[in-house]
Amino acid sequence: MIQRTLVLLKPDALDRGIVGEVITRFERVGANMVGLKLLVSAEDTAKLHYTDDLARRRGEEVRNRMISMLISGPIVAICLEGVEIIEVVRKMVGATEPKAAAPGTIRGDYAHVSYQHADEKGIGVFNLIHASDSQESADSEIGVWFKPEELCVHHPSYTKFTIRD
């Protein structure tokens, strides 16, 4: 099944200078990049991304911290396409809490912050990257960050025999 998913490289990923390395990881597994942009998020856009559902699940304070973190600097929004790409990307990204992320994942290789540390500091978890967790969230999140005309139709020749009919 061909899917699209959203990836956000958060301000801490840009601060660390690892944007190219992270994008290279997605390219190496054959993810097809169909949208890419560098931006500074408006607070309203960040609130659309971190929905009221997050507040219901984790609390309004956590939602507000995540919004503050997301608008604290530039981000890179990426729309990837591929076979069951949502699950592939989530595996590559690793556990949401960086200290629990397995070595070899993006968070496991580049971050180590814990929820406890973030709570003690009163900040959002700086975990480098966001990846959609379901088809429903991917569809919604892609719509927050990209207009339809900003997404490309791109079918690399190597995919002709592997993922396209």
Half-sphere exposure of 52 (CA within 13 A, CB side): 0
Instruction: Output Rg (C-alpha) for the chain, integer angstroms.
Output: 16
Q: What pLDDT was estimated at residue 159?
A: 56
pTM of the model: 0.91
130 is annotated as an active-site residue: yes
Q: What pLDDT was estimated at residue 161?
A: 52
Q: What pLDDT was estimated at residue 60?
A: 87
Domains for the chain: give ranges and CATH numbers. Answer: 2-86+131-161 (3.30.70.141)
CA angle 35, 85, 150 (to 5 degrees): 15
Q: What pLDDT was estimated at residue 18?
A: 98
Write out the chain's pLDDT in tens, 165 residues: 899 999 999 999 999 999 999 999 999 999 999 999 999 999 999 999 998 777 677 788 889 999 999 999 999 999 999 999 999 999 999 999 999 999 999 999 999 999 999 989 988 889 999 999 999 999 999 999 999 999 998 777 655 555 544
Q: What pLDDT was estimated at residue 157?
A: 66
Q: Which of 49, 130, 154, 155 is catalytic?
A: 130
| Nearest residue to 88 via CA among 159, 30, 151, 49 | 30
